[in-house]
Structure 1
Amino acid sequence: MAKRAAVKTKSADGVNPRQPCPCGSGKRYKACHGGAGGAADVIVSRPFEGLAAEGELIALREFVPSATVKLPLLDGKREILLATVLPMAAAALVRGDGTAFVGLQVQTRSGDVSRDLARAVQWAQRAETGEALPVVGVDDGSDPGRLQDLLDPAAGLAPELHRDFGWWMPPDAEPSNEVQLSLERANAAILPTERLEAPGVSAAYWVDAGDKAHLRWVRPEPEEKLLAALARLAVRGEHDLGEGSRYAGSFRAHGLLVPVWDLDRELHSSEWSGPADELGKRLRTALTSLDDEPLTEAERRARDGLRGRQITLR
């Protein structure tokens, strides 16, 4: 029996469906951008990549309880405040006084948080006073791009942290019963949190968890290189913040590693800014040394131990 000739077809984009997708996801094109759901089905593991504010965006989405910050939009036709959590976990709203907010800690309908946020920003730019967007729905074809297309990529963020969620309401406004209940529940769940301020420190937050305090620091380096640098410091006993601190482990969030240290909660949060700055300097030196000095056997063992104390947030 004669063998059938293989039939190779191409998509409308000229891509073989069985070849890797040009987006770099690692999937075949037919299971990625060439599939029925297109880009909406693609899981973007590092949604804020390319933005100077990447670390702060991850912190605000994952563990900072109450904070707001003005978005550095390229199109400034309306000021938009990025917020950690909005009433009823809304994706966006325009407060009674006309202030527009977009929420970070929300449910998403796609695999790209950046694209969902861009659509929420697009909605907030045209919404009327008092309107709210409960959730970013399925793609409506408007395609605002991604957050990277809307923001100044070189602009950092310096969020304003709040003790509670009173900023949900305009001054002197009376919340509805539903909003008041949501406000009380949100306030009750807040863990005292402070952003560390130091020249070489960003996206680092002190959190009072009750029995102890923690430092959670979103790091920009590739995971394996950061682990190697931490291992190099660990062998020397230099991977903590000094007396009253202990390296606890790390978690992955949106493509970056977030190391965590346990801290003596009797010390004020501001007292850890200097030690964090010094640790940052040691880390930078260790990262640079990796280019010329491979890990020793002891450092490789330390790296394996650090790797075993990781979790991934999904």
Structure 2
Amino acid sequence: MTKRTSDQSAAEAPVGKRQPCPCGSGKRYKACHGAESGSRQPIVTRPFGGLAAEGELVALREFVPSATAELPLRTGDRSILLATVLPMAAAAMVRNDGQAFVGLQVQTKSGDISSDLARAVEWAQQAEPGQSLPAVGPENVPTSVAPNRLQDLMDPQEQLSPQLYDDFSWWMPEDTEPSREVQLSLERANAAITPTQRIDAEGVCSAYWVDTGTKAHLRWVRSESEDRLIAALARLSARGELALDEDSRYAGSFRAHGLIVPVWDLDREKHASEWREPARALGQRLEEALSSLDDEPLTSTERRAREGLRGRQVTIR
């Protein structure tokens, strides 16, 4: 019998049929994982809980277009790269040069993304060069020896160091001519890329500058509980310290896999690197606000700010 981590059972929760499906598909629950046999499947709403890399995993699955990251596996001889998107939206593939990839931005087959990824990793560890896994599930991936979840495969204390790309040329080894099918998939994927850069600054993790073509944003995946994070943001808002600088404004937040992702609108004329210091300073202010919550209850002004922030949900799809 395989091991189920406490993070999974703790995160399973009932989901309303009209609510967004926690799997991240963008569909309502009743049209996605709640549709089968008319019964409700248990959904793990925080599938990457317990991992130091949780924030990066959420970012790579939800909004980073083209990136890879070495998966810090506990065992196994083959290097596995987590990838945002693979050719034909494959769940996993092994290039002809032997490099194995597991895709994050794929349709899941169960109510637990972590479980599906663990199965894809097991497949990638055993597959031959040139093979591709179009979908992952119990029907097409052996599970006799597979750990139950991603948390059982990787070192929970290790962070990810994503490598971002301007296109998807990394799909193919150098000096390799893609098939017509892969070439078409490559062209479609390249055309859909949104310029994105990771904000690399002291004390800043899982924060990304994104240019949508009409606006630039900072999207920052946070690991704190929603109530605590919104309270800290409200404290900064009441002090007039919630923006990164005079050329930015707090836009709102969205939920992704059990975490809250605050979003700031930014001046598109500024380069992504110009936001490193403002992000570092904002991160420091936010940490101080979070720490102060233990000793200083919100004031009436801060409570009003909190109610205003709760209603500012943004949509990125």
Range of TM-score over shorter length: 0.7 to 0.9
Structure 2 residue runs without a partner (length 5+): 1-7, 15-36
| 2:71 matched residue in structure 1 | 71
How is 1:296-307 mapped onto 2 (pairs within 5 angstroms)? 296-307=299-310
For residues 53 and 310 of structure 1, what CA distance do their matches in structure 2 show? 24
| 2:54 matched residue in structure 1 | 54
Q: In the TM superposition, what is the alpha-carbon distance from 1:312 to its structure 2 partner?
A: 7.8
Q: In the TM superposition, what is the alpha-carbon distance from 1:220 to its structure 2 partner?
A: 1.1
Is the contact between residue 251 and residue 314 of structure 2 (CA under 8 Å) also seen in structure 1?
no
Q: In the TM superposition, what is the alpha-carbon distance from 1:144 to its structure 2 partner?
A: 2.6
Higher Rg of the two aligned structures: 1
Is the contact between residue 74 and residue 152 of structure 1 (CA under 8 Å) also seen in structure 2?
yes
For residues 108 and 210 of structure 1, what CA distance do their matches in structure 2 show? 29
Which one-letter code corresponds to 1:133 in the other structure? L
Is the contact between residue 253 and residue 313 of structure 1 (CA under 8 Å) also seen in structure 2?
no
Is the contact between residue 48 and residue 54 of structure 2 (CA under 8 Å) also seen in structure 1?
yes
| 1:44 matched residue in structure 2 | 44
- Aligned to 1:153, which of 153, 156, 159? 156
| 2:192 matched residue in structure 1 | 189
From the superposition, tell whether residues 55 and 43 of structure 1 become closer, same or farther in structure 2 (CA, over 3 Å).
Answer: same
| 1:231 matched residue in structure 2 | 234
| 1:256 matched residue in structure 2 | 259
Q: In the TM superposition, what is the alpha-carbon distance from 1:41 to its structure 2 partner?
A: 3.3
For residues 295 and 71 of structure 1, what CA distance do their matches in structure 2 show? 41
TM-score by length of 1: 0.87
Which one-letter code corresponds to 2:125 in the other structure? Q
**CA-based RMSD:** 1.9
Structure 1 residue runs without a partner (length 5+): 1-21, 28-36
For residues 78 and 214 of structure 2, what CA distance do their matches in structure 1 show? 43
| 1:283 matched residue in structure 2 | 286
Aligned pairs, how many?
A: 283
Which consecutive segments of 4 or more residues in structure 1 shift more than 6 A?
A: none
For residues 66 and 78 of structure 1, what CA distance do their matches in structure 2 show? 22
Q: In the TM superposition, what is the alpha-carbon distance from 1:96 to its structure 2 partner?
A: 1.0
| 1:123 matched residue in structure 2 | 123
For residues 47 and 313 of structure 2, what CA distance do their matches in structure 1 show? 20
CA offset digits 1:137-156 (Å, max 9, x no partner): 23655343100000011100
| 1:8 matched residue in structure 2 | none
Is the contact between residue 60 and residue 67 of structure 1 (CA under 8 Å) also seen in structure 2?
yes
The percentage of counterpart residues that share the same residue type is 70
| 2:221 matched residue in structure 1 | 218
For residues 94 and 144 of structure 1, what CA distance do their matches in structure 2 show? 21
For residues 90 and 210 of structure 1, what CA distance do their matches in structure 2 show? 27
| 2:9 matched residue in structure 1 | 23
80-89 vs 130-139, greater mean Cα deviation: 130-139
CA offset digits 1:96-132 (Å, max 9, x no partner): 1111000000011101000000000000000001000
From the superposition, tell whether residues 215 and 172 of structure 1 become closer, same or farther in structure 2 (CA, over 3 Å).
Answer: same
Secondary structure, in 3 states, of the residue corresponding to 2:270? coil
| 1:81 matched residue in structure 2 | 81
Secondary structure, in 3 states, of the residue corresponding to 1:64? coil
TM-score by length of 2: 0.86
